[in-house]
Amino acid sequence: ASTLRRLWPADREGRRSLVIPRLISYVPRHRLLLMSYEPGGSIVSAIARGPERALRVIGRAFAALHAAPVICDAVLSADAALSDLRQRIPELCTKVPAEAAFLEDLLATLKRRKPWGPIRSAFLHGDLGPIHMVWRAGHVVVLDFEKSGRGDAALDLGYFLAQLRRFSLRKPGRLPDFPGLRGATLDAYRRWAAPDPALSERVRWYESVTLLRKIHYLACNWTRHPDHETIRRHWAEALRLLEHLPRVLELHAGQA
């Protein structure tokens, strides 16, 4: 609630592509949050219909969100992301023992390539997938700031691109070629954001981390959806993403 209070009025004139729901009321005792209803359609459908326009708007909206002058106690860091992966990889190795060596090497690679040095602090959504975005007449409505904090803008971009990649693999042909989508998203973002020469490499790092976390969830978390068909689909997607990971992790080659 406090994040929405600070975010909604901030720099209204500068956020021409971004819409933030308005906070109506919050009851702390019941953790009840009442926000304005924001109609719209699927962000993925908007990209499928007109990728050039949609990604241009999305890039501008993300840049505006990251520039919002919102102070948060939460810090979303590469160290925390890596620590979370260290806890997940051993369990994932027990599920796919044939890939254990690959997964351990992968964790070591991510540790070596972890973003470091001075990185501009931005306001982050923290969970910026298509499910938390709505397309409305050339604007992007961003929902659910429960995981927001401050950190590297590459985290939000990597998360969004990882989710787009998942969709592209799950439903081939629904979206244009993914490398093109990825490049167009980053180009649009750079057009509105402050210069950041190392952004693409850091985005790819966070994209890889996000995909690994999703693979762990799909392969190991069967209690939320215990029915056989859902487990089968999740397992198939986990294996498909695992097979695809080497291409994502070619950080030095700059290929998607």
CATH of the domain at 58: 3.90.1200.10
- Is there a contact between 128 and 160 (Cβ–Cβ < 8 Å)? yes
Q: Is residue 255 part of a domain?
A: no
Q: Is residue 253 part of a domain?
A: no
Number of domains forming the structure of the chain: 1
208-230 residue pLDDT tens = 999 999 999 999 987 776 788 99
Per-residue pLDDT, averaged over 16-36, amounts to: 81
Q: What domain range includes position 61?
A: 2-248
83-140 residue pLDDT tens = 999 999 999 999 999 999 999 999 999 999 999 888 999 999 999 999 999 999 999 9
CA distances in angstroms from 89 to 56, 155, 160, listed in the order given? 36, 20, 22
Q: Is residue 256 part of a domain?
A: no
| Per-residue pLDDT, 8 | 60
The yes-or-no verdict on residue 13 having pLDDT over 60 is no
